[in-house]
Amino acid sequence: MSRIVYNPTPRLLIATTNRDKIGEIAQELSGIPYAIVTLDAWPHLSPPAETARTFNENARDKARYYAAATGELTVAEDSGLEIERLDGAPGVESARFGGPAASYADKFALIYEALRAKGAADTTARFVCALALVNGRQLLFQTAAIVEGRIASGPRGSGGFGYDPIFFYPPFQRTLAELSPQEKASISHRGQAFRALRRFLEAGPTSRLNA
Ligand code: IMP
3-state secondary structure of 27: helix
Q: Is 146 in the pocket of ligand 1 (CB under 6 A)?
A: no
Average pLDDT over residues 4-19: 88
CB burial of residue 210 (10 Å; 0-12, 13-18, 19+): middle
CB 56 within 8 A of CB 102: no
Least confident interval from 56-60, 102-106, 119-123, 192-196: 119-123
Q: How many CB atoms lie within 10 A of CB 96?
A: 13
More confident residue, 7 or 16: 16
CA of 163 to the centre of ligand 1 (A): 7
Q: Residue 209 has what pLDDT?
A: 55
Q: Is the sign of the CA dihedral 103, 191, 141, 211 positive or negative?
A: positive
For residue 193, pLDDT beyond 80: yes
Distance (angstroms) between ligand 1 centre and the Cα of 129 equals 9
C-beta of 178 in contact with ligand 1 (< 6 A): no
Tell me, what's the pLDDT at 171? 98
Catalytic residue among 20, 40, 78, 87: 78
78 belongs to the catalytic site? yes
Q: 38 CA to middle of ligand 1, Å? A: 18
Rg (CA), the chain: 19
Helix axis angle, 19-29 relative to 189-202, nearest 10°?
A: 40
pLDDT in tens, 138-191: 999 999 999 999 999 999 999 999 999 999 999 999 999 999 999 999 999 999
Better-predicted residue by pLDDT, 149 or 210: 149
- Whether residue 21 is predicted with pLDDT greater than 80 in this model: the reply is yes
Domains, the chain, ranges and CATH?
11-208 (3.90.950.10)
Kindly give the distance from the C-alpha atom of residue 208 to the centroid of ligand 1, in angstroms, as a whole number. Answer: 32
94 within ligand 1 shell (Cβ under 6 A):
yes
- The rounded distance, in Å, linking the Cα atoms of 61 and 56 is 9
Q: Which long-range contacts (CB under 8 A, 24 or more apart) does 57-62 make?
A: 58/92, 58/130, 59/130, 59/131, 59/132, 59/142, 59/144, 60/132, 60/134, 60/139, 60/142, 62/15, 62/132
Q: pTM of the full predicted structure?
A: 0.94
Mutational test site, ligand 1, from 50, 161, 166, 190, max ligand atoms within 8 Å of CB: 161
Residue nearest to atom 13 of ligand 1 (CA): 80
Q: Give the pLDDT band (50/70/90) at residue 2.
A: low
Q: What is the pLDDT of residue 119?
A: 95
Q: Is the pLDDT of residue 208 over 50?
A: no
Q: Where are the alpha helices (DSSP H) in the chain?
A: 19-29, 55-70, 104-117, 181-187, 189-202
Q: What is the mean pLDDT of residues 61-89?
A: 98
